Amino acid sequence: MAEAGKVSLSTYGHYVRSERPPDFMAGANWYRAGVDVLYVITGERLQMQLSADDQELLKRYHAAPLAVKAAVLSALTVGPTVNAVKQSVEGDVGQQVRGGNITNAARTSFNFGKKEKKP
């Protein structure tokens, strides 16, 4: 925790023994490291307000067998991604590729042929 808060072990020891309260920077550093700072300070967790629909969905999801959970996650992640990479191949000579990297998980084939010259 001292390392995550970017404080010395001595300073962290003062915090643990309640000899001095943590400063804001240590709290901010702990938050960035994934620590629930509200819980550390107050002993209480932040309660998020979920809609009735969200509560029902979570209740059913938590009670579902692993196979059903896998099917639900699969169904919710199907389809194009918002930031899908687009590429275009252009030009008669050397063909220029514009765009980002694409990783193909499925089997992919590329066919290259010479362009037929018109008589």
More confident: 15 or 82: 15
pLDDT by residue (tens digit) across 17-74? 989 988 899 999 999 999 988 888 788 887 778 888 998 999 999 999 999 999 998 8
C-alpha closest to that of 12 among 90, 59, 35: 35
- In this prediction, residues 96-116 reach a mean pLDDT of 61
pLDDT by residue (tens digit) across 70-100? 999 888 888 665 565 555 666 565 555 555 5
Query: How far is Cα 7 from Cα 20, in angstroms, rounded to an integer?
Result: 13
Give me the residue spans of the domains in the chain: 2-42, 50-76
pTM greater than 0.75: no
